Amino acid sequence: MSLLNLKDITKIYGTRKALDNFSLKVMEGERVALLGPSGCGKTTALRLLAGFESPDRGQVEIAGVPAAAEGRILLPPEARSLGMVFQDLALWPHFTVRGNLEFGLKAKGVPAKERKARIREMLERVELLEYVAAKPAALSGGQQQRVALARALVLRPRALLMDEPLSSLDVDLNRRLREEILRLHQEFQFALLYVTHDRGEASALTERVVLMKLGQAEMEGTPDQVRAYLEGQSDYRGHW
């Protein structure tokens, strides 16, 4: 059974179809990329899975449980056991690093002693324990990225949804954080659905790539298969 399942999804904003009869399955522990240019529907797919949107047509399932269908949210975001890292990170600037990680644990009713232990463990994993009392503004871009990862993973999600989280970083930091994401995936074995317009990120981080265009899946395969397909398509040469 798939962990994440979008079934024949259509999502319309005004007169524009963000997704047009789009389907996607992601299995437990699998690493999948949604690859394509801006406006192709990648982020909409993530928001539907996270529970921030409902489809106009089709159904969203999480681990076989109906989560949304035909304009209705059936399973709220907090009940889906998913973590999300946004493009802009969405760290709470008035909270410390500890506060950013603790917020979701409190919302889930995790006892104080367990919250403390889980926060300490996760900050050790991402090498940020010494910054536990710092606020985001005092951290570097790479450190903020790791806080966002830790905040998502401290909830022990079954899947991690990532929306172009590395797009604004320089080449070296981008490479190092790719390695960090893969290390954390190997350790925690969450499913990863990674949205990007960057072929290199898709190839480095995932084992299956879904190439999107105008709200539909144009093709999917291994990173090598998608790369070969793109090289044969003149429309894509020189783009993202």
Taking only the tens place, the pLDDT of each residue in 185-231 is 998 899 999 999 999 999 999 999 999 999 999 999 999 999 999 88
SS3 171: helix
Write the CA distances from 3 to 11, 27, 40, 88, 147, integer angstroms.
21, 5, 23, 26, 25
**pLDDT one-digit tens code per residue, 80-127:** 999 989 877 889 999 999 999 999 999 889 999 999 999 999 999 888
Hey, CA dihedral for 143, 83, 170, 228, is it positive or negative?
positive
The pLDDT score that the predictor gives to residue 240 is 44
Write the CA distances from 38 to 41, 94, 140, 219, 235, integer angstroms.
8, 31, 27, 17, 15
Tokens representing 39 are 């406006």
Domain residue limits, the chain: 30-51+77-236
Question: What confidence category does residue 18 fall into, taking pLDDT thresholds of 50, 70 and 90?
Answer: very high
Locate tokens 């324990």: which residue?
129
Q: What does the DSSP assignment read for 1-54?
A: --SEEEEEEEEEETTEEEEEEEEEEE-TT-EEEEE--TTSSHHHHHHHHHTS--
H or E segment and range at residue 228: helix 223-231
**pLDDT one-digit tens code per residue, 53-82:** 999 999 999 999 999 999 899 999 989 999
pLDDT above 50 for 238: no
CATH number of 30-51+77-236: 3.40.50.300
Q: Which of 147, 44, 145, 158 is nearest to 102 (CA)?
A: 147
| 72/102 Cα distance (integer angstroms) | 30
User: Of the ranges 34-43, 81-90, 134-143, 189-198, which one carries the lowest mean pLDDT score?
Assistant: 81-90
The pLDDT score that the predictor gives to residue 177 is 85
Q: What does the DSSP assignment read for 98-134?
A: HHHHHHHHHHTT--HHHHHHHHHHHHHHTT-GGGTT-
Considering the entire predicted model, what is its pTM? Answer: 0.90
51 neighbors 75 (Cβ within 8 angstroms): yes
Helix (DSSP H) and strand (DSSP E) numbers for the chain? 7, 11
